[in-house]
Copies of this chain bind each other. A is one copy, B any other.
Amino acid sequence: METRIDTIKDGTVTTPRGFHAGATAAGIKHVGSDKLDLGILFSQEPCVTAGLFTTSRIKSAPVLLCQECLKKGRALTVVVNSGCANASTGKQGLADAAEMASLTAKAIGVDPEEVLVASTGVIGQRLPMERIREGLNHISLSDNGGHELARAMMTTDTVPKEIAVAFEVEGSLFTIGGVVKGSGMIHPNMATLLCFLTTDAAVEPAFLHEALRRAGDISFNMVSIDGDTSPSDTLLLLANGMAGNTPIVSGSPSADLFQQALDRACVHLAKAVARDGEGATRLLEVTVNGAKSRTDAAQAARTIVSSPLWKTAVYGRDPNWGRVVAALGRSGAEVEETRLDVRIGEILVLKGGMPQPYDESDVVWVMERDEVPVTLELNLGTASATAWGCDLTEKYVMINSQYTT
């Protein structure tokens, strides 16, 4: 079986066939600003759509609307704004989200029930409906519009985050594209802040949902920037079937490759989110091997990558690996200290729970890289997990102490 998956240069969410997007500066972030803050993603054919949403008990109005919409049928459009999350806004917020769907449906000539809504920004404020109404009239869709959409979703993100991958099975060429935004309030549980994925493959609904859940678990659910799960987390995957294949089902020849390509796209976007964490200067990668269960491995890796003390140590190029061990200890994962090995990069600093002699300058050298990897061997089982995060800097504090005011 051919297993080659190619990353497409300058690929984005509109790279798969039949997807169009566009965006405008509606003045939601700042009145009169030329920053893009309202966008639309549209499929010219009906889609099978899967979604994963925040596990927070407080869900934003758009999340509640999306969940309803996905129960009913086949969404083919997503409208998204940045600058206002439309969360903690009560009934008014639900009405505003529904109106945003209706206005979008009218602007592009689809059914309101086919429109998914996503919003990101300040919590507890109403959407400026007049500006959204006006803005929607100024969006023109194009098959290269994914790049504009990626920018319209950004809040404190410093770079747009996009990808497309392609692979071939039995003579059919499939493409998966995606855009993501997220920089703070990132500690997803089921999804990242906002991520839209598209594919021209025809996929059977149950397998599409299962594949998205699997890809989310090893990518966005393994990223943490500040431990704050958002009420707006939304991960959508739209499959419009324009590749003309027989729908991919679980166990079919193309299912495995589709999963691999989806995993590749999601891990790429998740790492891009971690790397662009608010104020971040470096990417942290923590791998836990030899755990009793995948849950243990994931919990340990996520806890370490979220530890403010390890995050500040990395920022300071300080090889204080005791903080990694301390975070492991409190993670809840089963650990036997006398079996534990820890590596910073390739350098063994702890073996069987005993500190090892090493040249400190070697470790400092690892900590100066753009990506700082730590590997823990628990030696208790066979499960593994990798988590990503970023260092904690003065700039994170600066950004977040001056967000609404």
Q: How many residues of A contact B (CB 8 A)?
A: 74
Name, among A322, A392, A398, the residue most crowded by chain B CB atoms within 10 Å (CB to CB). Answer: A322
Contact of A355 among B124, B308, B329, B355 (CB under 8 A): B124
Stretch of A15-23, A111-119, A147-155, A225-233 with 4 or more beta carbons under 8 angstroms from chain B: A225-233
Contact of A87 among B56, B231, B322, B394 (CB under 8 A): B322
Does A288 lie at the interface of the complex (its beta carbon under 8 Å from any beta carbon of B)? no
Stretch of A201-209, A268-276, A332-340 with 4 or more beta carbons under 8 angstroms from chain B: A332-340
Residues of B within 8 A of A58 (CB): 325-326, 328-330, 335, 337
Name, among A59, A184, A326, the residue most crowded by chain B CB atoms within 10 Å (CB to CB). Answer: A326
Q: B88, A55: Cβ atoms under 8 Å?
A: no
Name, among A227, A312, A403, the residue most crowded by chain B CB atoms within 10 Å (CB to CB). Answer: A312
| Shortest beta-carbon distance from A167 to chain B in Å | 36
Query: With the chains together, A344 CA to B335 CA distance in Å?
Result: 41
Contact flags A298-338 to B (C-beta < 8 A → 1, else 0): 00000000111100110111111111011111111111011
Q: B318, A402: Cβ atoms under 8 Å?
A: yes
Does A244 lie at the interface of the complex (its beta carbon under 8 Å from any beta carbon of B)? no
Task: Name which residue of chain B comes closest to A360, CB basis.
Answer: B405
Does A92 lie at the interface of the complex (its beta carbon under 8 Å from any beta carbon of B)? yes
| Shortest beta-carbon distance from A337 to chain B in Å | 6
Query: With the chains together, A309 CA to B85 CA distance in Å?
Result: 15
Query: With the chains together, A211 CA to B92 CA distance in Å?
Result: 49
Does A245 lie at the interface of the complex (its beta carbon under 8 Å from any beta carbon of B)? no
Q: State the copy count for this chain.
A: 2
Does A33 lie at the interface of the complex (its beta carbon under 8 Å from any beta carbon of B)? no
Task: Name which residue of chain B comes closest to A229, CB basis.
Answer: B330
Contact of A322 among B122, B337, B402 (CB under 8 A): B122
Would you list the 7 A-B pairs with minimal beta carbon distance, nearest first? Answer: A123-B322, A316-B401, A58-B329, A56-B329, A312-B400, A124-B322, A229-B330
4 more contacts with CB within 8 A, not counting A125-B355, A316-B405, are A58-B325, A227-B307, A229-B326, A318-B403
Q: Return 29 A-B CB contacts under 8 Å, by A number.
A: A56-B326, A56-B330, A57-B329, A57-B330, A57-B332, A57-B333, A58-B337, A88-B322, A122-B320, A122-B322, A123-B322, A124-B320, A124-B321, A125-B322, A184-B309, A185-B326, A228-B308, A228-B330, A229-B326, A229-B329, A231-B329, A312-B401, A313-B403, A315-B401, A316-B403, A317-B405, A318-B405, A320-B405, A394-B397
